[in-house]
Amino acid sequence: MPAAVSPSDQPILLVLRALGLGDLLTAVPAVRALSRGFPEHRLVLAAPGWLEPVVSLVGGIESVLPTAGVDRPLQMSPGITDVVVNLHGRGPVSSRLLDELGARCKIGHRDRGWPGPVWREGLHERVRWADLVAAHGMPADPDEVAIARPPVASPAPGAVVVHVGAAYGSRRWPADRFAAVARQLAAGGRQVVVSGNTADRPRATTVARLADLPDTANLAGRLRLDEFAALIAAAGMLISADTGGAHLASAYGVPSVVIFGPVSPALWGPPEHGPHIALTGNRQGSGDPFADQPDPALLAVSASEVIAAARSLMSGA
Domain range for residue 280? 160-316
Count other Cβ atoms within 10 Å, centred on residue 242: 30
200 and 311 fall within a common domain: yes
93 and 200 housed in the same domain: no
Single out the residue in 102, 119, 135 at which a domain terminates: 135
2: confidence class by pLDDT, cuts 50, 70, 90: very low
Tell me whether residue 293 is in a domain: yes
Q: Is residue 214 part of a domain?
A: yes
> In 3D, which of 154, 149, 211, 222 has the Cα closest to residue 185?
211
Is 150 among the domain residues? no
Q: How many domains does the chain have?
A: 2
pLDDT band for 3, please (50, 70, 90 cuts).
very low
Residues 129 and 170 in one domain: no
181 and 118 housed in the same domain: no
pLDDT of residue 1: 26
d(CA 312, CA 305): 11
Q: Whole-angstrom Cα distance, residue 261 to residue 281?
A: 7
Q: How far apart are CA 143 and CA 272, in angstroms?
A: 9
pLDDT in tens, 32-87: 999 999 999 999 999 999 999 999 999 999 999 999 999 999 999 999 999 999 99
pLDDT band at 20 (very low <50, low <70, confident <90, very high): very high
pLDDT for the residue numbered 108: 98
- Write the CATH number for 46: 3.40.50.2000
Q: 276 and 216 in one domain?
A: yes
pLDDT, residue 9, reads 77
Is residue 145 in a domain?
no
pLDDT, average across residues 289-311:
95
pLDDT value at position 4?
53
- Give long-range contacts, CB 8 A cutoff, 24+ apart: 277-283: 277/309, 277/312, 277/313, 279/305, 279/306, 279/309
Is residue 186 located within the same domain as residue 220? yes
Q: At what angle do helices 125-135 and 28-37 cross, to 10 degrees?
A: 20
Contact indicator for 58, 34 with CB cutoff of 8 Å: no
97 in a structural domain: yes
Task: For residue 221, give the nearest of 164, 294, 149, 278 by alpha carbon.
Answer: 164
Q: Which of 58, 54, 120 is nearest to 267 (CA)?
A: 120
pTM: 0.94
What lies within 8 Å, CB to CB, of 206 at 6+ separation is 175, 179
Domain for residue 2, yes or no? no
Pair (196, 89) in one structural domain: no
Mean pLDDT, range 283-304, rounded to an integer: 89
Position 273 confidence tier, pLDDT thresholds 50, 70, 90: confident
Residue 27 near residue 72, CB atoms below 8 Å:
no
Q: What does the mean pLDDT of the chain come to?
A: 94
